[in-house]
Amino acid sequence: MGLFGFLFGNKANKLKTFQEKGAIILDVRSKAEYDSGAIPGSKHIPLQQIQAKAKEIKQWNKPVITCCASGMRSGSAAAILRSHGVEAMNGGGWQSLYNKL
């Protein structure tokens, strides 16, 4: 395991663990971005609405893997969800995440 893997954990292993728990992919890009291409079966809630919908998302009772275009917005969304008690991880850019799934 490399230094970054040691310090930050292995993202591939975390992704696999989340998948095994039936994680929901949550795309936090704008509607126009989402409509132009997305991971099949993913849910869409733009980042600006995550705070207001956190209670609803928590009721899904599933871990959440957030994604966006590059990983910045999804990182913010994952942090917001975690602050509301949702098991969430940043999946990064949606195309990269799709290739890993």
Distance, in Å, from the CA atom of 34 to the CA atom of 24, rounded to the nearest integer, reads 16
- One pLDDT digit (tens) per residue for the chain, 101 residues: 344 444 455 778 889 999 999 999 999 999 999 999 999 999 999 999 999 999 999 999 999 999 999 999 999 999 999 999 999 999 999 999 999 98
What residues contact 49, with CB distance under 8 A and at least 6 apart? none
Structural domains of the chain sorted by starting position, each given as residue range(s) with its CATH number in brackets: 8-100 (3.40.250.10)
Percent residues over pLDDT 90 in the chain: 83
CB 28 within 8 A of CB 47: yes
Whether the Cβ atoms of residue 57 and residue 28 lie closer than 8 Å to each other: no
Map residue 44 onto helix, strand or coil.
strand
Kindly report, residue by residue over 1-21, the tens digit of the pLDDT.
344 444 455 778 889 999 999
CA–CA separation, 87 and 66 (whole Å): 11
Say what the pTM is.
0.89
CA distance 40 to 36: 12
pLDDT at position 89: 97
State the Cα–Cα distance between residues 22 and 59, nearest whole angstrom. Answer: 14
